[in-house]
């Protein structure tokens, strides 16, 4: 599976653009702010029905334009498949595959697996637990449809339960029966999600450690630990034990919505003790392990997006990484760089099939970015 073609209308800083890609390596070069990452984000939309960066779809419409349109043509075992994503201001997003609109976007997730490596990944280390839960969820959701459905249901039940806790506090009347109805469902969905997260982490760790070793030369040992209120105790018991606290706080204080991942380096906190270089290697290893994991389960090679890779690694490491990702184990790649030839020089000497796109934004914001491609085989 690979993306043959993408056309954009009014997407971020692209009034109109059409790009035809190589099935192997695609380099997007250009100065800062020209629109390289925006192309990656459009590709991300085709896979996940949403932006990697901005959850508010309407903000991805070109300023002042009434709508955006992203259309992709994928090659799936020599069959062409069209994916359409359109958004008019103040209307709901329309998402279609082969001209047929989805009833629910969740049905699309996982059909065109994709992994993004971005400077924004550092959030996984620096930010709160939500970003790490999102990471786990986005990996599992790509190969397990039911997981995503359970997660959506869990979150719905959770917000009902929280609303009820608030209502109980406001009215002073404790409605035990109503709470039990939400608790039963919360426990049911919560347990399923917890089991899948634990199983996933267990099989993910060795793959992740292998990649960290490959990238770093393997002097230190990295680890990931899955922390959850459900690790030690039955969810129903945990929930019963915290009822008083939940009532006082007026929201649900325990459950899988509080799960977290603890990242370690030689058993110490990665955030506190690892060097910048070690943290960056850790993040890339996480993403490449994600890639491997999805590939082995789905038997489809995901598309790999590498944004501003030189931001993360020095020249030598980039060279090693490029050798790794252009090997047969990987499929279609999209890589951005501000330097016009640094990446293509690497691929040229390695005799890898690649295309280079030079991205130049107009001097005025609404001017079309000019795209020139040079094909080298």
Ligand X SMILES: Nc1ncnc2c1ncn2[C@@H]1O[C@H](COP(=O)(O)OP(=O)(O)O)[C@@H](O)[C@H]1O
Query: For binding to ligand X (CB under 6 A), which residues are involved?
Result: 12-13, 30, 32-38, 59-63, 336
Q: Using the minimum distance from each CB to Mg ion, give the nearer residue, 37 or 138.
A: 37
Q: Residue 84 forms beta bridges with which residues?
A: 71, 96
Q: What residue 34 binds from ligand X, Mg ion, none (CB within 5 to 8 A, per partner kind)?
A: ligand X
Q: Using the minimum distance from each CB to ligand X, give the nearer residue, 12 or 257.
A: 12
Q: Using the minimum distance from each CB to Mg ion, give the nearer residue, 146 or 311.
A: 311
Q: What residue 190 binds from ligand X, Mg ion, none (CB within 5 to 8 A, per partner kind)?
A: none
DSSP letters for 118-172: -GGGGHHHHS-HHHHHHHHHHHHHHH-HHHHHHHHHHHHHHHHHHHHHHHHHHH-
CA dihedral 30, 34, 39, 44 (to 10 degrees): 110
Q: What residue 38 binds from ligand X, Mg ion, none (CB within 5 to 8 A, per partner kind)?
A: ligand X
Q: Using the minimum distance from each CB to ligand X, give the nearer residue, 59 or 203.
A: 59
Q: Using the minimum distance from each CB to ligand X, give the nearer residue, 43 or 238.
A: 43
Q: Residue 61 forms beta bridges with which residues?
A: 11
Alpha-carbon gap, residue 16 to 57, rounded angstroms: 18
Residue 125 CB, shortest distance to ligand X, in Å, is 22
Q: What residue 281 binds from ligand X, Mg ion, none (CB within 5 to 8 A, per partner kind)?
A: none
Contact status: 29 vs Mg ion (CB under 5 A): no
Residue 19 CB, shortest distance to ligand X, in Å, is 13
Q: Which stretch binds Mg ion (CB under 5 A): 33-41, 71-79, 88-96, 310-318?
A: 33-41
Q: Using the minimum distance from each CB to ligand X, give the nearer residue, 111 or 360.
A: 360
Q: What residue 274 binds from Mg ion, ligand X, none (CB within 5 to 8 A, per partner kind)?
A: none
Residue 269 CB, shortest distance to Mg ion, in Å, is 29
Residues 78-117 that bind Mg ion (CB under 5 A): none
Burial 39-73 (b: 16+ CB within 10 A, else e): bbbbbbbbbbbbbbbeeebeebbbeeeebbbbbbb
Q: What residue 348 binds from Mg ion, ligand X, none (CB within 5 to 8 A, per partner kind)?
A: none
Q: Are 13 and 38 in contact (CB under 8 A)?
A: yes
Residue with the closest Cβ to Mg ion? 37
Q: Using the minimum distance from each CB to ligand X, give the nearer residue, 106 or 313.
A: 313
Alpha-carbon gap, residue 31 to 337, rounded angstroms: 8
Q: Are strands 25-29 and 354-360 parallel, antiparallel or unpaired?
A: parallel
The tokens describing 351, both together, are: 């005799």
Q: What residue 12 binds from ligand X, Mg ion, none (CB within 5 to 8 A, per partner kind)?
A: ligand X
Which sign does the torsion angle of CA 270, 273, 278, 280 carry?
A: positive
Alpha-carbon gap, residue 11 to 17, rounded angstroms: 9
Q: What residue 35 binds from ligand X, Mg ion, none (CB within 5 to 8 A, per partner kind)?
A: ligand X
Q: Using the minimum distance from each CB to Mg ion, give the nearer residue, 109 or 116.
A: 116
Alpha-carbon gap, residue 203 to 32, rounded angstroms: 38
Residue 358 CB, shortest distance to Mg ion, in Å, is 14
Candidates 186, 233, 256; CA nearest to 178 is 186
Q: What residue 142 binds from ligand X, Mg ion, none (CB within 5 to 8 A, per partner kind)?
A: none
Residues 121-150 that bind Mg ion (CB under 5 A): none
User: Mask: binding to Mg ion, 34-53, rule CB under 5 A, as x and -?
Assistant: --xx----------------
Q: Using the minimum distance from each CB to ligand X, give the nearer residue, 311 or 345.
A: 311
Helix (H) or strand (E) holding 80: strand 79-88
Query: Total residues at the site for Mg ion (CB under 5 A)?
Result: 2
Alpha helices in the chain (DSSP H): 36-48, 123-126, 129-143, 145-171, 176-216, 235-241, 243-249, 270-273, 276-298, 315-325, 342-349
Contact status: 361 vs Mg ion (CB under 5 A): no
Which residues of this protein are in contact with Mg ion, per CB under 5 A? 36-37
């Amino acid at each position: 599976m690979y993306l043959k073609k993408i056309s954009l209308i009014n997407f971020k800083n692209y009034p109109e653009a059409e790009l035809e890609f190589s099935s192997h390596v695609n380099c997007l070069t250009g100065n800062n702010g020209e629109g390289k990452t925006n192309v990656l984000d459009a590709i991300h939309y085709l896979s996940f029905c949403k932006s990697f960066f901005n959850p508010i779809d309407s903000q991805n419409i070109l300023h002042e334009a009434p709508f955006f349109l992203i259309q992709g043509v994928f090659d799936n075992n020599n069959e062409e498949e069209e994916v359409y994503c359109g958004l008019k201001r103040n209307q709901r997003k329309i998402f279609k595959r082969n001209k047929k609109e989805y009833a629910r976007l969740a049905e699309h997730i996982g059909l065109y697996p994709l992994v993004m490596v971005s400077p924004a990944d550092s959030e996984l280390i620096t930010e709160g637990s939500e970003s790490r839960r999102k990471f786990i969820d986005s990996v599992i959701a790509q190969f397990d449809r039911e997981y995503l459905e359970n997660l959506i249901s869990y979150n719905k039940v959770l917000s009902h339960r929280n609303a009820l806790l608030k209502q109980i506090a406001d009215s002073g009347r404790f409605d035990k029966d109503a709470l039990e109805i939400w608790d039963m469902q919360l426990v049911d969905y919560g347990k399923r999600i917890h089991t899948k997260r634990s199983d996933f982490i267990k099989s993910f760790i060795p793959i992740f450690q292998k990649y960290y070793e490959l990238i770093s030369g393997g002097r230190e040992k990295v680890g990931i630990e899955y922390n959850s209120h459900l690790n030690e105790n039955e969810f129903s018991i945990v929930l019963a034990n915290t009822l008083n606290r939940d009532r006082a706080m007026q929201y649900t204080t325990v459950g899988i919505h509080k799960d977290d991942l603890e990242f370690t380096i030689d058993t110490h906190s990665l955030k506190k003790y690892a060097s910048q270089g070690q943290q960056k290697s850790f993040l890339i290893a996480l993403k490449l392990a994600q890639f491997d994991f999805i590939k082995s389960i789905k038997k489809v090679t995901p598309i790999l997006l590498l944004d501003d890779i030189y931001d993360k690694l020095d020249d030598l490491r980039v060279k090693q990484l490029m050798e790794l990702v252009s090997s047969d184990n990987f499929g279609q790649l999209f890589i951005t760089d501000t330097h016009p030839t640094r990446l293509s020089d690497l691929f040229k000497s390695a005799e890898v099939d690649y295309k280079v796109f030079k991205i130049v934004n107009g001097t005025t914001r609404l001017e079309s970015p000019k795209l020139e491609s040079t094909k080298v085989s």
